[in-house]
Structure 1
Amino acid sequence: MTEIATLAGGCFWCLDAVFQRVRGVKSVKSGYIGGHVSHPQYRQVCDGNTGHAEAVEIEFDAEQISYRELLEVFFAIHNPTTLNRQGNDVGSQYRSAIFYHSEQQQSAAQAVMADTAKAWPMPLVTELNSASRFWHAEVEHQDYFNQHPYQPYCRAVVAPKVQKFMQSFSQLLNQPSS
């Protein structure tokens, strides 16, 4: 059974790169959600005036990976206690947020957030919102890390998150096709 998960946790290049490597994930699209501007563009979102967060829309096979497992990966690869920032990326477009698509996803997110909160010394600031319109980012932002692995931001920020995921969640890695 195919489901959609929509998550925001800093730069969408990081989330895209990690979730592409997760077993059961069929596709990952980078984009924008949660704002008030129709058809937002990257520059507008970066300026912080659209209300949108950089996010990923993940299409996954719920028989291979659970929504809960996706959320566990999500919370492991970003800091859910920093308001409107991840590392040097600052602004509401980099906020931590879960956009649920059903009551079941909302309940699962609440449970994972409660469990996650116990592991952090600071309170979680992750938003939990009903999914609204997801706007796909421009083509150059799709699959960014795989297309630009030697770009300085990718080497300094994205690659360590991918490595952390691969070490911490080896049981959830996609198996290469033969």
Structure 2
Amino acid sequence: MTVNPEIFLNSIILLVSIWALMFLNYSIIKPTRINEKRFKLYKIRDDLAVMAIEGRIKENSDEYMILINLINNSIASTKDFEITKFINRFNRLLKDKALRRNIEQIIKKIERDELPDEYRKLVKQYFIVSKQIFAHKSWLLVNLLTPFILFFKVLGTIIIIFKSLSAQLTIKQEQIKDAESYYKSTIQRISIA
């Protein structure tokens, strides 16, 4: 069997092109996109610091400390571009009841207009950027996990069906053996008589 040299060359060019695009995406485009979001977090942090310097919010207040810690943790989690580290930090946020309670208190203060409007805008920007980072970081994981979950659900369903079928077949096999045994013993009893 011979391979057409043009098809072979085109296939190699296609594979190299796909590899080059993947390399560009993972080494340049994705880090650039996540850095853009990190720089937004730096700007939010700087604006918060300016508010504290100007006295519009107290530097030792819960509102300042919680938001600055959230921002710093988000920045730290985006340094190495690892999906799992970011998701672990995000899960810690979800599981930390005291922190969640404090965030809820801050949101209630914002809703009651007890905090400056600029602070409300910074909190909103922080959560928008965090959501974008989360979507960016978890996209590949979600899109990889969905087919695996679907595969294992289908596999689990098939296994359950086979177990049920196996149990039914085992019962039928025993019924057949019982019937064979009955016929055999009946034939033996008739033959003896």
TM range (shorter): under 0.3
Q: Which has the higher contact order (CA 8 A, sep 6+)?
A: 1
TM-score by length of 1: 0.25
Give me the TM-score of the superposition, normalised by structure 2: 0.24
Structure with the larger strand share: 1
